[in-house]
């Protein structure tokens, strides 16, 4: 069933014209019958339809339609100046979200273009679809996919969808009450941190007794003597990590 959706957001006074990335300002979205500029490449939002836009290429005007699952607001580009529907500000312009009719019924791709969660459970990867073809994309180690933000997130923030942070991270936070009074770990309470065995570039920080895997960043290594990220050269066992 085709359902017409209207995004009820205040209309932004932008005509989304672009020439080398510069937006054209106007009092409202406008219908155009010819290109306002005769040189370069510009794009202009359709006045009523969020899945369409006008493109001017050296003065030649064409009406473009976004691929299935994409919309246009001039602010981002996944494909042909269009963006994922959940990332697009349509103002008062309308659009229809229709499942991709050409897709394989067994495909994970609900629309030809989009990001999709593999299951209702805790997943450490997601599918990025283009033209109805799904590409599996792994989350950074220690993260799980959050369908609400369309990004990878800390697993302890995804307990409601069944994420087990200990399983995702591969670490269980120790009971800090059992640590010696002079333990260096206590200096970092309420967010104690620990080394990751056989890993020069990461550490674990515990938040509300759940582990989060943190990266030190390129060129740095975790120094167990200070429990901080340091230049790799200052950590003997990791001094050659970036030279290998």
- Of the candidates 199, 206, 202, 224, the one whose C-alpha atom is nearest the C-alpha of residue 215 is 202
Per residue in 29-54, pLDDT (tens digit) is: 678 899 999 999 999 999 999 999 99
Query: Does position 67 have pLDDT exceeding 80, yes or no?
Result: yes
User: Which H/E stretch holds residue 167?
Assistant: helix 165-169
| Domain annotation covers residue 33 | yes
Lowest mean pLDDT among 23-37, 57-71, 81-95: 23-37
| Amino acid 108: pLDDT | 87
Q: What is the DSSP letter of 88?
A: -
| Domain annotation covers residue 103 | no
Please state the domain count of the chain.
Answer: 3
Query: Does position 26 have pLDDT exceeding 50, yes or no?
Result: no
Domain end among 127, 153, 169: 169
Number of Cβ within 10 Å of residue 229's Cβ equals 19
Number of Cβ within 10 Å of residue 87's Cβ equals 14
* Average pLDDT, integer, range 73-96: 93
Pair (187, 203) in one structural domain: yes
Pair (11, 90) in one structural domain: yes
Pair (34, 88) in one structural domain: yes
For residue 120, give both structure tokens: 């209702």
Dist. CA 237–CA 198, nearest whole Å:
10
Domain containing 79 equals: 4-96
User: Tell me, what CATH number does 197's domain have?
Assistant: 2.170.140
| Amino acid 52: pLDDT | 96
* Average pLDDT, integer, range 108-125: 93
| Domain annotation covers residue 140 | yes
| Domain annotation covers residue 42 | yes
* Average pLDDT, integer, range 76-96: 93
For residue 101, give both structure tokens: 């009719």
Per residue in 191-237, pLDDT (tens digit) is: 999 999 999 999 999 999 999 999 999 999 999 999 999 999 999 99
Pair (24, 83) in one structural domain: yes
Output the pTM of the full model: 0.78
Domain end among 96, 124, 155: 96
Question: Do the Cβ atoms of 96 and 115 come closer than 8 Å?
Answer: no
| Amino acid 102: pLDDT | 67
Pair (9, 92) in one structural domain: yes
């Amino acid at each position: 069933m085709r359902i017409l959706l209207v995004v009820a957001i205040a209309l932004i006074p932008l005509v989304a014209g672009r020439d080398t990335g510069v937006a054209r300002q106007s009092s409202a979205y406008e219908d155009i019958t010819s290109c306002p500029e005769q040189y370069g490449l510009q794009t202009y939002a359709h006045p009523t339809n969020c899945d369409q836009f006008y493109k001017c290429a050296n003065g030649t005007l064409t009406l473009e339609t976004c691929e299935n699952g994409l919309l246009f607001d001039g602010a981002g580009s996944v494909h042909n100046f269009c963006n994922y529907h959940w990332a697009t500000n349509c103002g008062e312009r309308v659009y229809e979200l229709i499942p991709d009719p050409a897709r394989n019924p067994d495909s994970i791709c609900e629309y030809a273009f989009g990001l999709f969660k593999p299951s209702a459970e805790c997943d450490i990867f997601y599918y990025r679809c283009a033209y109805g073809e799904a590409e599996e994309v792994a989350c950074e180690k220690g993260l799980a996919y959050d369908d609400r933000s369309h990004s990878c997130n800390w697993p302890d923030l995804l307990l409601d969808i069944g994420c087990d942070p200990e399983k995702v991270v591969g670490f269980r936070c120790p009971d800090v009450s059992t640590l010696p009074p002079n333990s260096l770990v206590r200096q970092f309470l309420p967010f104690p941190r620990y080394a990751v065995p056989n890993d020069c570039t990461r550490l674990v920080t515990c938040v509300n007794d759940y582990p989060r895997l943190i990266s030190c960043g390129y060129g740095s290594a975790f120094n167990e003597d200070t429990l901080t990220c340091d230049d790799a050269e200052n950590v003997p066992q990791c001094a050659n990590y970036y030279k290998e």
